[in-house]
């Protein structure tokens, strides 16, 4: 039995709360990434322009930039310490199936798998409600899982 099978799993509500919190952090990052893409395109003098002579980006390129920014955000934090800022606030940590640190490919697969889980009307997330181990589709795809960290003990100040 691995260490993580004895560890408490975060509830779906806790996971969704962390997702909402992370969304507020990722949206400005996406805007900056798209603005940089548009700035590079304009600086290089690439066509096309719309009817008002404003430089525009192809919709698929914008989607690719957005996806890349989101994957980069999550991979950075997951590889750094297994937690995004919202995961720290909600005491959630990402570990591999044996309880250790995740690898780069696991982070990328998990991020892309999470998008797939969401695109299926959230079915990949809802799966944790019926799974015996509380795992989602992207947990299985990436060989990772979320654990709930214990509450920190408050330190009493000496008088």
This prediction has a pTM of 0.83
CA geometry: angle at 105 spanning 131 and 25, to 5°?
80
Q: Which residues contact 38 (CB under 8 A, 6 or more apart)?
A: 55, 57
- 131 sits in which H/E element: none
State how far the alpha carbon of 132 is from the alpha carbons of 113, 127, 142, 145, 153, in Å: 20, 10, 18, 13, 30
- Position 55 scores a pLDDT of 58
Per-residue pLDDT of the chain in tens (159 residues, 90 and over written 9): 344 445 789 999 999 999 999 999 999 999 999 999 888 877 777 665 555 655 567 788 889 999 999 999 999 999 999 999 999 999 999 999 998 999 999 999 999 999 999 999 999 999 999 999 999 999 999 999 999 999 887 777 766
Q: Which residues contact 48 (CB under 8 A, 6 or more apart)?
A: 56
The structural domains of the chain, with segments of one domain joined by +, span 3-148
How far apart are alpha carbons 106 and 109 in whole angstroms?
A: 5
Residue 111: which of 149, 66, 148 has the closest Cα? 66
Please give the structure tokens belonging to residue 116. 């797939």
């Amino acid at each position: 039995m691995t260490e993580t099978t004895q560890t408490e799993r975060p509830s779906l509500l806790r996971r969704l709360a962390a997702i909402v919190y992370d969304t507020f952090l990722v949206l400005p990052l996406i805007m900056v990434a798209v603005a940089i893409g548009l700035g590079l395109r304009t600086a290089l003098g690439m066509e096309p322009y719309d009817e008002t002579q404003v430089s525009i980006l192809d919709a698929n390129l914008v989607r690719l930039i957005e996806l890349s920014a989101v994957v980069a955000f999550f991979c950075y934090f997951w590889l750094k310490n297994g937690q995004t800022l919202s995961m720290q606030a909600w005491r959630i940590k990402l570990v591999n199936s044996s309880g250790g640190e995740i690898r780069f490919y696991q982070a990328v697969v998990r991020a892309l798998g999470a998008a797939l889980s969401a695109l299926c009307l959230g079915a990949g997330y809802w799966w944790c409600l019926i799974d015996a181990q509380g795992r989602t589709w992207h947990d299985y795809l990436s060989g990772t899982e979320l654990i709930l960290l214990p509450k920190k003990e408050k330190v009493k100040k000496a008088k």
